[in-house]
Amino acid sequence: MFKHLRRDIQAVLDRDPAARSALEVVLCYPSFKAVRRHRRAHWLWTHDLKLLARIVSQRTRRITGIEIHPGATIGEGLFIDHGTGVVIGETAELGDNVTLYQGVTLGGTGKDVGKRHPTIGNNVVVGSGAKVLGPFKVGDHSKIGAGAIVLKEVPPHCTVVGNPGRVVRMNDERVDIDLDQVNLPDPVKERIMALTARVEELERCVNCERRQSDAACAERAVRQLKEELKNEDL
């Protein structure tokens, strides 16, 4: 339990610019408290003290607003920003340097038995309010956009947005942890903008043809008037 202590503190210092010292992290951060208490609960769970483990996890939920089932396996460097409303299921597995924002659920669909919850790879960022549901893997260095609903496997180095979640970027291979959950691609917006531009182009073409047609009609009217005036002179 204690071998992860320094890494757990450093994860907060590295990824939260508001964190000013290790002492502040230990005393004030619910993420740190939840992770440390989970490590104790997980030890109890794996040593067949399951009721005691559940008691520890439920007390942690009341204290921090973060619910991590004691059966879940988490790696080093987990950072849960703010943390309120985060839920991590019993069979979930998290790799190293994972970042979860508030309101994230790593849950099941209710139909699976055995392995019911997702496996999150290394250096994965899951945005605010995102739901990852089912016994599949989210590959290393991937990013789940805020509010996304992910129901199927995500390859490594991908960005997923939307409901249902869809991959909008692949093989964007960054070595460091990318915490930007705002500037993500929006394929729906891009498509709408492309269609809008096309409609505007078509309207310009129609207006141009209409003006040309109106000019031709005016020329015919002038010629007709000239012919009528000439006939009257005769």
Q: Which residues of the chain have pLDDT under 50?
A: 175, 234
CATH code: domain of residue 93: 2.160.10.10
Segments forming the whole domain that contains residue 220: 186-234
Model pLDDT, residue 226: 62
Count of structural domains, the chain: 2
Model pLDDT, residue 175: 44
Model pLDDT, residue 180: 60
Model pLDDT, residue 229: 57
HSE, CB side, 13 Å, CA atoms: give it for residue 83.
22
Q: Are residues 173 and 206 in the same domain?
A: no
Model pLDDT, residue 186: 65
Residues paired with residue 6 on neighbouring β-strands, in sequence order: none
CB 107 within 8 A of CB 124: no
Other CB atoms within a 10 A radius of the CB of residue 157 amount to 18
pTM above 0.95, yes or no: no
Model pLDDT, residue 168: 79
Q: Are residues 80 and 179 in the same domain?
A: yes
Model pLDDT, residue 165: 77
